[in-house]
Structure formats: C-alpha cells, structure tokens
Amino acid sequence: EKIIVTRNTPEIAESIGYLPGTEEEKMAPWLAAITDSLEVLHKHDESMESSMNYIMNKANIQLKSLNFMRGRSIQNAIVILDESQNLTASQLKTIITRCGTGTKIICSGNLAQIDSYYLTAVTSGLTYIVERFKDYPGSATVNLNGVVRSNLAQYAEENL
C-alpha cells in the first residue's frame, strides 16, 4: 500500500526540529539518495520533476523520520531503511518492531561508510541485525561487491 523511506539524520536520529516545514520537507535533504535515484530513472522524461512527483504519489512513497517511529504499527508497507550502517542495534530494533502484518523491511548500508563516532563495522546495528536474522525464515542478506557510483568514489572507499 505504501513505501516508507527513512534513515538516520546526522544527529543520529535525535532531532530534525530546526529545519522548516513538514516532516517530509525536513527529511528531504537526508533522503536525497532516493530522489537522486528517481532522477536517474526519469532524466530523459519530458518533465523530470513532474514524472518524479507522479511516481512519488502513485507509489505512495513517504519520507519519514526515525524520530517518529516509536509507537507506530506499520501495516502492508515496504520500509526502506537507508544508511542503516549508522544505526545502533537498539535503533534498528525500534524500527523493526514497528513492522506489522504485510510489511517488509529493507535495511541497506555499507559498513565501509560508517560515519558515526560511536560505531564500527563490528558494533553497527546492521552487523548485529544481519547476524541475528540469518536463520529467520523469509530473511535474506544480499552483498553487493564493488563501487558503481564512480571511479573517484571507489578510490576514496579503498584509500581513505
């Protein structure tokens, strides 16, 4: 019925209150990766912006903050948790336990791109969740090798 896209904010999902606008407007800068991907898919359309707005509405894509996940029961949705390498096990548990009937969750992330002062590849919630869910029926882990963004991005990942 809907696609909910969320991720942590640079303050490790603590506050987005200082940005103007609605929740979705506040989350837009942090979820630009999603709109970047839609731009690539629609770059040759007559009106890229109209196409993107249409697909966001037609697919019922919602940009949500982690701050407002507590207490929710998300039914019949796909939840995409982007940049989940920067979340703790506790934060991931909070989100996963919000998933109700008919909901699937996708936790995407790259352990080589952790930018939290508090986490490492060993302590990341993504590592924790992959390990804890390895035997759960219906759970799968997909590892993608290589960098597809650019040669510059690949060099940075390998050398910084």
CATH code of domain 2-159: 3.40.50
Q: Look at residue 13 in the predicted model and tell me its pLDDT.
A: 45
Are the CB atoms for 8 and 67 separated by under 8 Å? no
Q: What is the pLDDT of residues 48-77, one digit of tens each?
A: 778 777 877 888 888 887 877 888 899 999
Are the CB atoms for 103 and 77 separated by under 8 Å? yes
Ranges of residues in the chain whose predicted pLDDT is under 70 = 9-20, 23, 26-28, 30-31
Q: Look at residue 137 in the predicted model and tell me its pLDDT.
A: 94
Q: Domain locations in the chain?
A: 2-159
Expressed in angstroms, the distance from the first to the final Cα of the chain is 41
Tell me the pTM: 0.79
Are the CB atoms for 96 and 102 separated by under 8 Å? no
Residue 69 Cα distances to 3, 53, 89, angstroms: 14, 24, 15
Residue with the two structure tokens 């080589």: 112
